Amino acid sequence: MKSTFRPFFIASIGALLLAGCSTSGWFARVPSRSAKPVAEDGHAPRNYVGDARLPASIRRVVLLPVHGGEFALPEDSESLDPVMATALERQMRFEVVTLPREDCMHLCGQPDISSAASLPHDFLRQIGDKYDAQAVLFVDVTAYEAYRPLTLGLRAKLASVADQRLIWSFDEIYSTSDPAVVAAVRTYYQHNELGNLPFDLSQDALQSPSRFAAYAANQTFHTLPIR
């Protein structure tokens, strides 16, 4: 399932989805580099903005199911759920709680929800209360190709429950058609960043959608604000 690149755009979740939240500051803010992205052979994500530091109040975050929309089949989106959860936990920014798809269905009538969608009334507060969480993280697929060249576009947004504002927002497309990405994937797996394995997964990662997604997820969440 192929997708063309869409220009990066930072906006509030949905059509000013976070009730009462002004987003004008987000358009003018210079992207934070405090959480320096992993740059291998010159490649690093650039399309993100966020607070310089993670608010001290953010201790637990609910990770929503991956939303594939028109770009990824439901089974592909669901297969990305544990990949995103693992990558997010490895950043050790906060405790991660995953929202099961059946719970998402109960809350909003669908198994996953886009960061660009209108949310049900009090959606963030309900999740925050149920899981004792201070923020919610949305992940959308914006491009997906499971065959060569492997491609995965990710849009992610971290929204606080208390004041309903965006703490961090990200939009990037990773593709093995980009030589810099290929070099970065090779370096990432040759360094055995996923568990110090005694063998080289770099070639497999350039053919396996799940391993390529693990690399992309790591790069994405590494740009989250530091503490």
Which has the closest alpha carbon to 149: 184, 180, 187, 178? 178
Q: Report pLDDT digits (tens) over 197-216.
A: 555 666 778 889 999 999 99
Q: Dig out the tokens for 142 from the structure.
A: 């914006």
**Continuous segment of H or E residues that includes residue 173:** strand 166-175
The answer to whether the predicted template modeling score (pTM) of the entire model surpasses 0.85 is no
- Three-state DSSP class for 61? strand
Q: How far apart are CA 27 and CA 112, in angstroms?
A: 27
Contacts of 70 (CB under 8 A, 6+ apart): none
CA angle 167, 172, 178 (to 5 degrees): 155
Q: Report pLDDT digits (tens) over 37-77.
A: 554 454 788 999 999 999 999 999 999 999 999 999 999 99
- The full set of domain ranges for the chain reads 24-175+213-221
DSSP 8-state secondary structure symbol assigned to residue 84: H
Per-residue pLDDT at 221: 97
Residue with tokens 């953010």: 58
Q: Which CATH superfamily is domain 24-175+213-221 in?
A: ABC-type transport auxiliary lipoprotein component (3.40.50.10610)
Confidence tier at 156 by pLDDT (50, 70, 90): very high
Q: Dig out the tokens for 145 from the structure.
A: 């190709």
- Three-state DSSP class for 169? strand
Per-residue pLDDT at 150: 96
